[in-house]
Structure 1
Amino acid sequence: MRSSALLLACALPLSAAAAEMRFTGQAMPLNGDNLLYEEQHVVTGKCTDGLFRPASHNVTYLRSNGEPFAEKTLSYEQSTLRPAMTFRQPGFNEVMEIRNRDDATLEIEWQTPEGDTENSTVEVTRKLVADAGFDNLVRNHWPEVTSGDRIEFNFLAPTRGKAYGFVLEPAKDDRINATHTVLIEPSSTILSFLVDPILLGYNDNGALTDYLGLTNIRKDKDSNYTAHIRYAVDTAPDCELTR
């Protein structure tokens, strides 16, 4: 009995071992070479049967002089597509919080730069994606992404308290030098006139290399930065990101 227990204890870490991924992003203006800000990402999780499963995600935002000015924490406990999230930009007195209630509803609380607090609730559907969940959406559909298929999903707009239809599909753009480039844009023709598309770049391993589009970082009280963020992996988990 003791030998069996010992063998089981030794086997468990091999099938689900703790793992970590660290990567850094540098945000540059679309027309210019001055650094707007830097993102430092730490994703912790487990290598389960050779595949990385994220559990938590912390992002620190730094000015060009190295001073932190915003932070984000995410938890993938309920869903990798719909993480619970807290995002703070103290310089604008802004806090955005998304709570995932048993992956049935998302509760949103937004403390606006004007000092108001807005609350909303969104019902969860199978196609709903929130915040950094888009990155896991790409990895979850890696065979489709790399074969050129079109993926439809609903993306949460937390400041509006609702979700909108989007599509993810292969793209070509000279501004992104990546093995795989995909475009995220609204599925509605009307909404496409109001929302600019986002371009993403990935390497062969499924790691994000580029983000080009509107960011969540405020330029002022009325607008956010649009930037090209180039990512570099500092520490990779000892298992695959995609399969």
Structure 2
Amino acid sequence: MKYILVIVINSLYFNNSQAFNFVGIAYDLNTENIIYYENHTVILNKEGQYKRANVVYKYPSGEEFANKELIFSSPLTIPSFDFDNFYSHTKINLKNLNGVAYLRYESEGVSISKSFEVSDYLVADAGFDQLVIKNWDLLVSGNVLKFHFIVPSRGEAVSFRLLTKSINKSVITFILQPENWLFRLLVDDITLVYGKYDKRIKEYIGLTNIEKISDGELTGDYYKARIKYQY
């Protein structure tokens, strides 16, 4: 069983700017070759919280292959978003309206429509980063954070847990894994490295939501990558 997690990081810990940009560079875990770039543009509200965001995905050739638009409301852990991967013909739409998250997923003849009741520990897409910051003290104190993450390709809110692996002078490393012990045997952990003081994501290591291409054709497999973030 393979979960295709759409955890796209939008690091939120900025206080003095109403707009900013940053870049994620995804390296293949096996070859260390660059797979793609994520170009993030973020607009903050007057309180310094996320208001809107855009992510453009490009191959090393410079060709754009996917785009995402996000709108943040309450709670910040469930942003409304539209994701469009032009190559895999995958479209994801999620709307957070009046306490309900409405999901629409389409990809290669597969169509899923689901709704989820919004709660404090329901998370979607880049809302994961908001969850980490919100529960920072709890995590670094050694507690395990349990939550439900909306997996669009399955049309389910899957139970996950997040825990602290290590803390050193400059970074804190977290581990994300399924709550179900059997699934943990089948699915590799995702590793996330955050700055200890600025609380910005530095690295994401694990399965991505970007499908592999071989000889110009989609393979059905998804890249495992190390994504390094530059601010």
The bucket for the TM-score relative to the shorter chain is 0.7 to 0.9
Alignment equivalent of 2:79, drawn from 83, 104, 112: 83
TM-score by length of 1: 0.80
Contact 2:75–2:120 (CA under 8 A) maintained in structure 1: no
What are the within-5 Å matches in structure 2 for residues 24-173 of structure 1? Answer: 24-48=23-47, 52-102=48-98, 104-112=99-107, 114-172=108-166
Query: Which residue of structure 2 aligns with residue 193 of structure 1?
Result: 185
Contact 1:18–1:47 (CA under 8 A) maintained in structure 2: no
Query: Which residue type is aligned with residue 218 of structure 1?
Result: E
Determine which structure has more spread, i.e. the larger CA radius of gyration: 1
- What CA deviation, in whole Å up to 9, does each residue of 1:190-237 have, x standing for no partner? 22123321110111201110001111111135222110000011xxxx
Q: Give the total of aligned pairs.
A: 211
Contact 1:30–1:228 (CA under 8 A) maintained in structure 2: yes
The structural deviation recorded for 1:148 is 2.8
Query: Which residue type is aligned with residue 200 of structure 2?
Result: A
Find the residue that maps to 2:54 and give its secondary structure: strand
Query: Which residue type is aligned with residue 155 of structure 1?
Result: F
| Displacement over 3 Å in runs of 4+ | none
Which stretches in structure 1 are left out of the alignment for 5+ residues? Answer: 1-15, 234-243
In structure 2, how many angstroms separate the alpha carbons of the residues matched to 1:187 and 1:40?
A: 31
- What CA deviation, in whole Å up to 9, does each residue of 1:39-60 have, x standing for no partner? 0111211352xxx311111100
Which stretches in structure 2 are left out of the alignment for 5+ residues? Answer: 1-14, 213-217
What are the within-5 Å matches in structure 2 for residues 175-186 of structure 1? Answer: 179-186=171-178
TM-score by length of 2: 0.84
Establish whether residue 229 from structure 1 lines up as the match of residue 221 from structure 2.
no
RMSD: 2.2
The structural deviation recorded for 1:78 is 3.3
The structural deviation recorded for 1:125 is 2.4
Q: Whose helix fraction is larger, Structure 1's or Structure 2's? A: 1
In structure 2, how many angstroms separate the alpha carbons of the residues matched to 1:117 and 1:207?
A: 35
Contact 1:18–1:46 (CA under 8 A) maintained in structure 2: no
